[in-house]
Amino acid sequence: MTVKIAHLADTHLGYRQYGLQEREEDFYDSFKNVIDNIIEQEVDYVIHCGDLFEQPKPPIKALLVAQECFTKLMNNNIEVYVIAGNHDILQRRKSSLPQELYKNDKFHIITTKDNHHVLKEDIYLTGLPYLQKIHEKIIQNKLNELVVETKEHKHSILMLHGGVKKLFTFECEFENDTIPEGFDYYALGHIHERKMDNFKNGLMCYPGSTDINNKAELKEYENNGKGYTLLTIDDEIHAEYVNLNLERRFIVKDIKYYELDEKIDAIANYIHEKILSETNKKPIVILNIKEGKFDRSEVSEKIYKKLGSISLTVRLSYEPTTDRTDGPEITEELLNPIKALKDKIGKELNGDLEDLGVELYRNLSKKQLEEAEEYSDAYFNKFYKTGEDNDNQ
């Protein structure tokens, strides 16, 4: 018998991009479209690998949309298994997850303590919620415990939330050695890119986010689409991306100042003829005006006059020509505070304090006080207390 599983992640329900209600609604629409397509595919199970919500205390509308969609799945005899992502977790001990509102015999939350499930056709499903990198040794020990069970079953799936070194060049939550060999399918969330590759005799996959969370994701969307991953399991596991078009369009352009009039006229014509003729959702326009000496207020006034009424929002940045030649050359390295922090701490203190300093900078610069406190507590427990384990959720 063939079993179908839909793997999705990073839906970020409740995210109000640019502070716009319309963008929050777009994320709801994207999630609803994914759910409807999953039902059309007649899948047996849905696994969601974290960041269901944008924040651990979601707006009421986000909770209601999630409830509506999960009820629709369960009414079609589709069971749901979820793990918490970093956006879902309130970084406070004994705090509850918003997903617990939906928990029943067809909606399951995989935690550090409740993580053994056997699906039909002897498919072993397990996983862990998001845990900060400082807990990597704890994560490795728990995963080594979980992998033992795979030997007793025909197929095995591991659900995790975080970046894995194997697939990315930036600093990741998981080193390759942290995740053990032995699983057939490694279902990941957290990174909004779509990535799929062999990993330790199994297949590792990121389904990507279901909508565009920032401008950097536009190229990824153009190349690889948005949606979810569909697993088909018989004697082997087959995975393919299911693409769903996003109705809201983004227009991103670099415009040289001397071409400004020509280019914004062309954009206005494109919006009228190619976008608003097909949908009532106005596009998001992101323009960078560069080269030449100009008055920013005059440029922005001209752009808003032609594009403001036919765009959901217009986001502008400027790179005018300057005559400045004195002073040091401004490079990406000089503008990178994390690199500067690492260089400073690394020269004078040990690597563990370097990690602590970087994490505190990242959290405090975003006013994420609870996350900073959690990381500080974990650091203190790791290096100044003994015999204590930290079970996150």
List, in sequence order, every residue forming a beta bridge with 315; answer none if it has no partner: 286
Domain boundary, last residue among 243, 274, 303: 243
Same domain flag for 353 and 212: no
Q: Are 289 and 258 in contact (CB under 8 A)?
A: no
| Residue of 12, 48, 87, 135 marked active site | 87
Note whether 146 and 59 are same-domain residues: yes
Number of domains in the chain: 3
Q: How far apart are CA 22 and CA 281, in angstroms?
A: 9
Q: Are 210 and 228 in contact (CB under 8 A)?
A: yes
Q: What is the pLDDT of residues 318-347, one digit of tens each?
A: 999 875 444 454 444 445 666 666 666 655
**pTM (2 d.p.):** 0.81
175 and 291 belong to one structural domain: no
- Residue linked to tokens 């499903």: 125
Q: How far apart are CA 51 and CA 270, in angstroms?
A: 35
Partnered with residue 161 across adjacent β-strands are 189
Residue 191, C-beta contacts closer than 8 angstroms, at least 6 positions apart: 163, 167, 168, 206, 208
Q: Enter the tokens of residue 207.
A: 């389904």
Check whether residue 231 and residue 259 sit in a common domain: no
Q: Across-strand partners of 237?
A: 233
Q: Rounded to whole angstroms, how far apart are CA atoms 121 and 28?
A: 33
- Spatial separation of the C-alpha atoms in residues 282 and 57, rounded to whole Å: 29
Q: What are phi and psi of 352, to 5 degrees?
A: -65, -40
| Residue 372 belongs to some domain of the structure | yes
3-class secondary structure for 244-313? CCCCCCEEEEEEEHHHHHHHHHHHHHHHHHHHCCCCCCCCEEEEEEECCCCCHHHHHHHHHHHHHHHCCE
Tell me the C-alpha distance between 264 and 179, whole Å: 50
E strand residue ranges, the chain: 3-8, 45-48, 79-82, 107-109, 117-119, 123-127, 155-161, 185-189, 195-199, 202-206, 227-233, 237-243, 250-256, 284-290, 313-319
Among 243, 269, 300, the domain-final residue is: 243
Within a domain: 19: yes
Q: Decide if 117 is catalytic.
A: no
Calculate the alpha carbon distances from 366 to 191, 345, 362, 363, 370 in Å.
19, 21, 7, 5, 11
Residues 267 and 371 in one domain: no
Q: What is the pLDDT of residues 19-46, one digit of tens each?
A: 999 999 999 999 999 999 999 999 999 9
270 shares a domain with 138: no
Give the pLDDT of the chain (393 residues) as one tens digit per residue: 899 999 999 999 999 999 999 999 999 999 999 999 999 999 999 999 999 999 999 999 999 999 999 999 999 999 999 999 999 987 666 678 999 999 999 999 999 999 989 999 999 999 999 998 889 899 999 999 999 999 999 999 999 999 999 898 888 899 999 999 999 999 999 999 999 999 999 999 999 999 999 988 999 999 999 999 999 999 999 999 999 999 999 999 999 999 999 999 999 999 999 999 999 999 999 999 999 999 999 999 999 999 999 999 999 999 998 754 444 544 444 456 666 666 666 555 555 666 677 777 766 765 566 666 766 766 666 655 544 444 445
96: how many CB neighbours lie within 10 A of its CB? 11
Check whether residue 344 and residue 198 sit in a common domain: no
Cα gap 343→221, rounded to integer Å:
35
Residue at 393 is within a domain: no
Q: Within this chain, do residues 275 and 151 fall inside the same structural domain, yes or no?
A: no
Whether 74 and 198 map to the same domain: the answer is yes
- Tell me the residue range of the domain where 380 lies: 337-384
Q: How do residues 340-391 score in pLDDT, each as one tens digit?
A: 666 666 555 555 666 677 777 766 765 566 666 766 766 666 655 544 444 4
